Homo-oligomer: A and B are copies of this chain.
Amino acid sequence: MAARVEKLTSDIAWSTPDRIVVKGQDLCGDLLGKQSLGDVAFLIMTDRLPTSENESVMFNALAVTLIEHGMTPSAIATRMTVTGAPEAMQAAIAAGLAGLGSVFVGSMETAAHLLQDAVPDPTAPVDVDGLASEVVTELRSRKAQVPGIGHPVHKPVDPRAVRLFELAEETGFSGPYVALMQRIAAVAGERAGRELPVNATGAIASIASEMGISWTVIRGIGVISRCIGLVGHVREELTNPIAREITARVGRETSEAAIRASEQR
């Protein structure tokens, strides 16, 4: 069973007994005590440290945005899990992260994919109005949702998007992707006949695109954010537990309805 021999390679990190090198940086000499958590996360996602204060401020803001939004499905999944396995908090956080798919948080990937496909070269001139119209028409023609716009609670605007776009302006990251995202929201709103402003994931998707982060890994920003938030939910669930009460209520309501239904048969 001869097999093509392939070398295993990785450019992420290597170590010797007295050194650990991460993306070309000496962990102990260059990073610890010198670079913040958010800046090292930027290094992991882009292969370099931020080269300006503006870049650092903007990326940290993106990564902070989704840390918390209260009792999300992810937070509830984490709390349910830690109730059954308090000895394995890492598994509880893993359970919460597993839900960051196409509907919540992971939706930033869909938005970024769309933006980066529409504008392959952000340095070339972009017909924002034309592209936005095309994109919305195409999505509507196949009954697909426009990603990154609208929010069930944050109406008429998502204050996180407003703030992120303000920061993008201040830090110099408000370019064609941001313009296109905003214009897409406007067009989609016009066609739907109601306000559908850019939401937090749409803002993150467009600004991260400006920063050169590929849509294929942009969801990682949301995963990192929520991971931090979920540590907080584990922490609170251990001291002020609510998972059992939620479980009891749901069990009671569904069980009672099922018993009534079975009696009527």
A: residues with CB less than 8 A from B are 1, 3, 6-24, 27-29, 31-33, 35-41, 44-45, 56-57, 60-61, 63-65, 67-74, 76-77, 80-106, 153-155, 157, 159-160, 162-164, 167, 170, 216-217, 219-220, 223-224, 227-229, 231-236, 238, 240, 242-259, 261-262
Closest to A240 in B: B9
Q: A36-B39, A71-B255, A73-B84 are in contact. List 15 more A-B contacts (CB 8 A).
A: A8-B257, A10-B258, A18-B157, A20-B69, A21-B258, A24-B262, A33-B167, A37-B38, A44-B235, A70-B255, A84-B105, A85-B103, A90-B219, A95-B98, A224-B228
Is B104 touching A84 in the complex (CB atoms < 8 A)?
yes
Cα A70 to Cα B220 with chains together (Å):
18
**Contact for A37 among B6, B36, B217, CB less than 8 A:** B36
Is B217 touching A234 in the complex (CB atoms < 8 A)?
yes
Cα A10 to Cα B238 with chains together (Å):
12
Closest to A254 in B: B10
Cα A82 to Cα B91 with chains together (Å):
12
12 A–B contacts, CB within 8 A, in A order: A10-B71, A15-B154, A17-B155, A36-B37, A36-B38, A44-B67, A44-B232, A70-B251, A77-B77, A85-B100, A90-B91, A224-B231
